[in-house]
Structures are given as C-alpha cells and as structure tokens.
C-alpha cells in the first residue's frame, strides 16, 4: 500500500507524523511515524565498485584497501582464496575475500540410491562441537543396518498463495475455475522466467479459503526468487480472471498479508 500526503514542506530535523484514514475492505486505519530530514551532506562514503568489471584484481584490491583503511585492521586470512574471483559473479557483490570455516568428515556412509550407490564421505562445515561425532555415530548405525536406501518421490519448488471468498461455495467454484484455466495461468507464470516451469497446481479448500499450491520445476537453480516472481504473476492472473471471467461468478475478497 502506498500513501501520498500533500502538505507544506517540513523543516530539517526530527518530525512526528500521525495519519488516520478509512479504506475498503480494511476499515479504519491509523498509525504514527517518527523520522528525520537531514542536512544534505557531501559525497557518501561507499565501498569501491567498478561498473564495467567488478571482479578484476584491481577492483578487489581497491576494496581491500578501503576495508583496511576504514576499519584500521589488516585482514590477513580472508584475502587468500584458491579460486578465480570471476567464478563468484552472479553469486556475490563487492567480492573482497573468503571466510575459512572448519570442515570435518563423517562416514563413510553406505548409500543404496537409484543413482548414487556405494560408500561416501560426508563433509560437514561447522563450529558446533560434537556435531561431526554425532553424525559419525549415526552413520555407523545406518551402515550396520545395511545402509541408507534413497527414493526421490518428487522434485518441486512450491509457492502457496491463499484466496479468501465470501463463502465455501465460492471457494469451491474458484477451485473449479483454476482447473479449467491451468493453460493461461501456466503461460502467465512461465513468461516471467526462462528457468521456471509450472508443472501443476494443487488446491486445498478450508471453509471460505482456497489455498493454491503452485508446483514448479526450476532446473539447476534453487528457485526461491524466480518462483516468487512467477507466483505473483500467476496469482495476479487468477485474481483478475476470477473477477472478470463470464463463466465464473466469483467475487474475490482481498485480505491483507
């Protein structure tokens, strides 16, 4: 929700602002905020950044010098990585160094999988005492029992928006509408990403609430961010189409949250 308030300009310094208004369908709302208007200063101090190529040794060295100058500390260990900094492009911004985390190994663990079969060492990066030893004991018990049998039942990234209606009957009709319009919903969802594919939608009804569970394939991507954008678009289509489709006499009641 965005609120625009017209009025006289405020002087620099701290101000307390109170607002009260009424809006459908939420009713009367009021809140109070306190903030400051600061004097405009000079150039803001910022971590060095190269817009053309921020992963060169020169760009990284400038950041390291900035960190040492700003903090007054010479970081001896974090500047010693064993890989090309360009490998981190797309995974981290303002790359400056690496952190060293203790790694212990547990196992070997016998795995009876559909693809991975055999004995595997399990690396564990942690500073929690007794964690590796605990895993090691558990793997010993599993090995004595014949190993671990693994079965992948499904592979999906899920998002689950909820639609709120005036009655359970309207929620049921909305579920039926979604089933009939899965194709345009899929088209709208997949148009926002080149890696996300909408497989199917589960619908769960609880009284006047319709919970849609969108099930996506995301390839090699973890998928949290793209599926969030996809679900927004698919949910928007569901809302607008449900309100306007001639074959669907449903009135969607929006709710906050």
Nearest partner of 165 among 200, 231, 212, 214, judged by Cα: 212
Decide if 196 contacts 216 (C-beta within 8 A): yes
Q: Which of 219, 156, 230 is nearest to 186 (CA)?
A: 230
Domains of the chain by residue range: 47-100, 103-149, 157-244
Residue 233 binned pLDDT confidence (cut-offs 50, 70, 90): low
Decide which of 76 and 117 is more confident.
117
pLDDT at 29: 75
Please give the residue that has the higher pLDDT: either 225 or 87: 87
Residue 245: band (very low, low, confident or very high) from pLDDT cuts 50, 70, 90: very low
Out of 96-105, 153-162, 235-244, give the one with best mean pLDDT. 96-105
Q: Which residue has the higher pLDDT, 84 or 17?
A: 84
- CA dihedral (131, 136, 137, 143) positive or negative: positive
What integer pLDDT is reported at residue 57 of this predicted model? Answer: 93
Specify the pairing of strand 27-37 against strand 117-125. Answer: unpaired
Does the pLDDT of residue 248 top 60, yes or no?
Answer: no
Torsion of CA 131, 132, 135, 139, to 10 degrees: -170
Q: What is the distance between the terminal CA atoms of the chain, rounded to a whole angstrom?
A: 11
Give the confidence band of 234 by pLDDT, cuts at 50, 70, 90: low
Q: Which residues make Cβ contacts (< 8 Å) with residue 195, sequence separation at least 6?
A: 218, 219, 221, 223, 226
**Structural tokens at position 54:** 């921020």
Structure-model confidence comparison of residues 11 and 40, the more confident one: 11
pLDDT tens readout for residues 144-173 = 999 999 888 888 888 888 888 888 998 898
- With left for phi above 0 and alpha for psi between -120 and 50, is residue 223 left, alpha or beta? left
**CATH of 157-244 given 1.10.150.130, 3.30.70.420, 3.40.50.720, 3.40.50.300:** 3.30.70.420
Q: Rank 48-52, 72-76, 102-106, 190-194 by mean pLDDT and report only the highest.
A: 102-106
**pLDDT, position 256:** 35
- Burial code of 208-237, b = ≥16 C-beta within 10 A, e = fewer? bebebebbbebeeeebeebbeebbebbbeb
Residue 97 in this model has a pLDDT that exceeds 80: yes
Q: What is the pTM of this model?
A: 0.51
Tell me the mean pLDDT in the region 168-188. Answer: 88
Judged by phi (left if over 0) then psi (alpha if -120 to 50, else beta), residue 20 lies in beta
pLDDT tens-digit profile of 118-145? 999 999 999 999 999 999 999 999 999 9
- Tell me how crowded residue 198 is: count the other CB atoms within 10 A of its CB: 20
């Amino acid at each position: 929700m965005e609120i625009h308030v017209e009025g006289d300009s405020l002087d620099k310094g701290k101000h307390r602002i109170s607002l009260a208004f009424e809006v459908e369908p939420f009713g009367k709302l009021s809140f109070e905020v306190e903030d400051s208007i600061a004097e405009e200063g000079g150039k803001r101090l910022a971590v060095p950044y190269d817009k053309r190529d921020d992963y060169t040794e020169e760009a990284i060295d400038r950041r390291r010098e900035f960190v040492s100058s700003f903090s007054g500390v010479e970081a001896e260990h974090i500047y010693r990585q064993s890989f090309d900094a360009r490998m981190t492009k797309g995974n981290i911004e303002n790359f400056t160094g690496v952190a060293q985390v203790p790694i212990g190994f547990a196992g070997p663990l016998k795995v009876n999988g559909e693809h991975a079969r055999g004995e595997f060492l399990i690396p564990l990066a942690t500073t929690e005492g007794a964690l590796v030893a605990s895993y090691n004991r558990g793997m010993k018990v599993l090995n004595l029992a014949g190993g671990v049998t693994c079965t992948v039942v499904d592979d999906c990234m899920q998002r689950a928006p909820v639609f709120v209606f005036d009655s359970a009957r309207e929620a049921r009709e909305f579920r039926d509408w979604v089933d009939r319009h899965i194709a345009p919903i899929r088209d709208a969802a997949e148009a926002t990403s080149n890696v996300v594919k909408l497989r199917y939608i589960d619908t769960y009804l609880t009284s006047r609430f319709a919970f849609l569970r969108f099930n996506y394939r995301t390839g090699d991507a973890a998928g949290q961010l793209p599926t969030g954008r996809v679900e927004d678009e698919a949910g928007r289509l569901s809302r607008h189409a449900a309100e306007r489709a001639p074959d669907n006499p449903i009135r969607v009641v929006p709710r906050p949250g």
